[in-house]
């Protein structure tokens, strides 16, 4: 292996230590700690784990989390009512609705009901619009975490050829906008892209977020490229892997994120950072 590892777990730990100090200062100067409301609808086991991890991370940095666990039968109207209440609540700086929602609730309508100033996931069209207009406000957590990891390489991103694989509203699209804002030349690949290998072979930066294990072959990686793997998949033996063939890619890349321990811990970390930002903006 020649690539250096972009260690998201270690970076997230460092950032959380800094945030702990910031929340103490906020508590002292604003009279209250930052607050995050976390809404979980239904009993999906994976979502329960994600929500618990987020609550634990909040506690570690001194953010107060307000939990709202609702049954899967919750109506859209009830959920919208709760969001309206949290939008008005002066102790709540951020509102997070854990996705996916039950089938009878349209996630877009729910996201759009959140006050953009409290949209700490960065999913609201207003916040996506701000990013596309080069005035980032609350930024989508996963792409924001990827940018923070890219910063760790010390590389100047201006003029770099970047390929983002995946075009979802929560990862691929905002990731492409982040890289564009950083001055890279960005290609977005998606399920209709004809020759993925050709795009990746000329990329200085590859961000894989297709949700397909092993989609990106190690031999496609250009020597010296930076590889950020957003995908997370559980293999039959219980271990985790990403969208990129790690071992082969690591022989060619200059930098690479592991799965687990790369992008995942950074996503939660940027949720905390957004909550602090949303809190500060209110004072």
18 as an active site residue: the answer is no
Binding of ligand NAD by 263 (CB under 6 A): yes
Considering only residues 28 to 67 of the shown chain, the ones binding ligand NAD according to CB under 6 A are none
> Binding string to ligand NAD for residues 172 to 201, with x set by CB under 6 A, is what?
x----------------xxx-x--x-----
Q: Which stretch binds ligand NAD (CB under 6 A): 33-41, 104-112, 160-168, 197-205?
A: 160-168
Tokens of 61: 């940095």
Binding of ligand NAD by 235 (CB under 6 A): no
**Contact pick of 267, 270, 271, 273 for ligand NAD (by CB under 6 A):** 267
Binding of ligand NAD by 211 (CB under 6 A): yes
Q: 266: burial class by Cβ within 10 Å (0-12, 13-18, 19+)? A: buried
**Contact pick of 62, 94, 174, 231 for ligand NAD (by CB under 6 A):** 231
* Residue 56: CB minimum distance to ligand NAD, A: 16
* Residue 260: CB minimum distance to ligand NAD, A: 9
Binding of ligand NAD by 142 (CB under 6 A): yes
Q: Which stretch binds ligand NAD (CB under 6 A): 43-51, 89-97, 116-124, 169-177?
A: 169-177
98 as an active site residue: the answer is yes
C-beta of 12 vs 26, nearer to ligand NAD:
12
Binding of ligand NAD by 230 (CB under 6 A): yes
Which one from 93, 118, 119, 121 is the annotated catalytic residue?
121
C-beta of 12 vs 36, nearer to ligand NAD:
12
Binding of ligand NAD by 209 (CB under 6 A): yes
Q: Which stretch binds ligand NAD (CB under 6 A): 68-76, 115-123, 205-213, 249-257?
A: 205-213
Q: What is the 3-state secondary structure (H, E, C) of the chain?
A: CCCEECCHHHHHHHHHHHHHHHHHHHHHHHCCCCEEEEEEECCCHHHHHHHHHHHHHHHHHCCEEEEEEECCCCCHHHHHHHHHHHHHCCCCCEEEECCCCCCCCCHHHHHHHCCHHHCCCCCCHHHHHHHHCCCCCCCCHHHHHHHHHHHHCCCCCCCCEEEEECCCCCCHHHHHHHHHHCCCEEEEECCCCCCHHHHHHCCCEEEECCCCCCCECHHHCCCCCEEEECCCEECCCCCEECCECHHHHHHHCCEECCCCCCHHHHHHHHHHHHHHHHHHHCC
The rounded Cα 30 to chain-centroid distance in angstroms is 28
54 as an active site residue: the answer is yes
- Which position has the token pair 């492409």? 176
Active site (catalytic) residues: 54, 98, 121
Residues at the interface with ligand NAD (CB under 6 A): 142, 165-168, 170-172, 189-191, 193, 196, 209-212, 215, 230-232, 263-264, 267
């Amino acid at each position: 292996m020649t690539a250096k590892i972009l260690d998201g777990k270690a970076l997230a730990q460092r950032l959380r230590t800094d945030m702990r100090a910031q929340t103490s200062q906020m508590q002292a100067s604003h009279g209250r700690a930052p607050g995050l409301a976390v809404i979980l609808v239904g009993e999906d086991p994976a979502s329960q784990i994600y929500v618990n991890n987020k609550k634990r991370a909040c506690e570690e940095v001194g953010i107060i989390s307000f939990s709202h666990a609702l049954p899967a039968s919750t109506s859209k109207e009830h959920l919208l009512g709760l969001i309206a209440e949290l939008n008005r609540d002066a102790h709540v700086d951020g509102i997070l609705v854990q996705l996916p929602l039950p089938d009878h609730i349209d996630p877009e309508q729910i996201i759009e009901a959140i006050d953009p100033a409290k949209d700490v996931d960065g999913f609201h069209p207003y916040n996506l619009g701000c990013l596309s207009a080069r005035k980032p406000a609350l930024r989508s957590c996963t792409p924001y975490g990827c940018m923070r990891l890219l910063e760790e390489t010390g590389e100047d991103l201006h003029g770099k050829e970047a390929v983002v694989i995946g075009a979802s509203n929560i990862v691929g699209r905002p990731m492409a906008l982040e890289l564009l804002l950083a001055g890279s030349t960005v290609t977005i690949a998606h399920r209709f892209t004809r020759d993925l290998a050709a795009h990746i072979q000329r990329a200085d930066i590859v961000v894989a977020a297709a949700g397909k294990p092993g989609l990106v072959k190690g031999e496609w990686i250009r020597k010296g490229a930076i590889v950020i793997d957003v995908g997370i998949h559980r293999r039959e033996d219980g271990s985790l892997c990403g969208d990129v063939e790690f071992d082969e890619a690591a022989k060619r890349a200059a930098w690479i994120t592991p799965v687990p321990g790369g992008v995942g811990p950074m996503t939660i970390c940027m949720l905390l950072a957004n909550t602090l930002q949303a809190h500060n903006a209110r004072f």
